[in-house]
Structure 1
Amino acid sequence: MDPVVHFEMPYEDRDRMVQFYESAFGWKAQKLGPEMGNYVIVTTANADVKPDAPRGSIDGGFWEKRADWPAQVPAIVIGVGDIRGTMEKILRAGGKILGDPMQIPGVGEYVSFLDTEGNRASLLQPSM
């Protein structure tokens, strides 16, 4: 079974979004630079749950909204051992892959998809 390992949501105003989640929930934000698409990583608990843990919390991230990207809505990230094999399973099950996998330095390979209901979610194959 492949676990949910991360969540993602879009933002329009990065500073406003960071201020909101830090103030409302006590989350810790790490703002990345333009080389990482101005992504913001958020820590939601004192200790992140490992992919093989049965229960617990997960951390997440926020990306800047862009007019040329599809399905800019909150989404989950599913950890997988074989991203290309899972992409094939998604296609066979009736889903749609959104682009090619991208390498996130120090993290792993990542790609988004739409399920049969039009929900956007993503896959992450962690670096070994």
Structure 2
Amino acid sequence: MNPVIHFEMPYEDRERMAAFYRSAFGWQTQMLGPEMGNYVLATTTETETGDRGPTQPGAINGGFYGKHPDWPAQHPSVVIGVDDIRAAMEKVSASGGQVLGEPMEIPGVGHYVSFMDPEGNRVSMLQPLPRG
């Protein structure tokens, strides 16, 4: 079984978005630079040192990405952890989903690709790098 390991939501104004979630929910945000697509990491729960993930079972952290006029289905979505992204892409396609492009490498994190499920939901998959 592949678990949900991350959530993602789009933003139009990253400073406004980060300030809102810090103020309303006490989340910590980390603004990444242009080399990482100006992504914003959101820590929503107590996390182990060395970025080894949440300490509470079932809890997840997430992130925010800037909206792009040419990207499909920019809505809140979840990221599913997989052991083998290529095999998971084949399963998604065989099960009636549509993979959106090729996996991209996220330095220090793993390989990531989005897909549309048969209901029109944009979802993503991540094959994380092995934790050491």
Q: Detail structure 1 runs of 4+ shifted over 3 Å in the superposition.
A: none
Look up the match of 1:66: 68
Q: Paired residue for 1:10?
A: 10
Q: Residues 103-123 of structure 1: CA distance to partner in whole angstroms, max 9, x if unpaired?
A: 000000000000000001000
Cα drift, residue 57 of structure 1: 1.1
Cα displacement (A) at 1:49: 3.1
**1-side partners of 2:13 and 2:62: how far apart?**
17
- Gaps of at least 5 residues in structure 2 are 48-52
Hey, what does 2:50 align to over in structure 1?
Answer: none
* 1:9 partner SS: strand
Contact conserved, 2:46 with 2:54, CA < 8 A, in 1? no
2:40 matches 1:40: yes
Q: Under a length normalisation based on structure 2, what TM-score does the superposition of the two structures give? A: 0.91
The amino acid across from 2:32 in the alignment is L
Quote the Cα distance in structure 2 between the aligned partners of 1:29 and 1:85: 33
What is the Cα-based RMSD across aligned positions, in Å? 1.2
Distance 2:54 2:117 in 1: 25
User: Over residues 76-111 of structure 1, what are the superposed CA-to-partner deviations in whole Å (9 max), with x where a residue is unaligned?
Assistant: 000000000000000000000011100000000000
1:56: how far off?
2.5
Match of 1:122 in 2: 124
TM-score where L is the length of structure 1: 0.94
Question: What does 1:18-97 align with in structure 2 at a 5 Å threshold?
Answer: 18-47=18-47, 48-49=53-54, 55-97=57-99
One-letter amino acid of the structure 2 residue matched with residue 69 of structure 1: W
Q: Is contact 2:100–2:113 with CA below 8 Å preserved after alignment? A: yes
Secondary structure class of the residue paired with 2:58: coil
Which residue identity is paired with 1:59? Answer: N
Aligned residue type for 1:104: I
Q: Which amino acid aligns with 1:33?
A: G
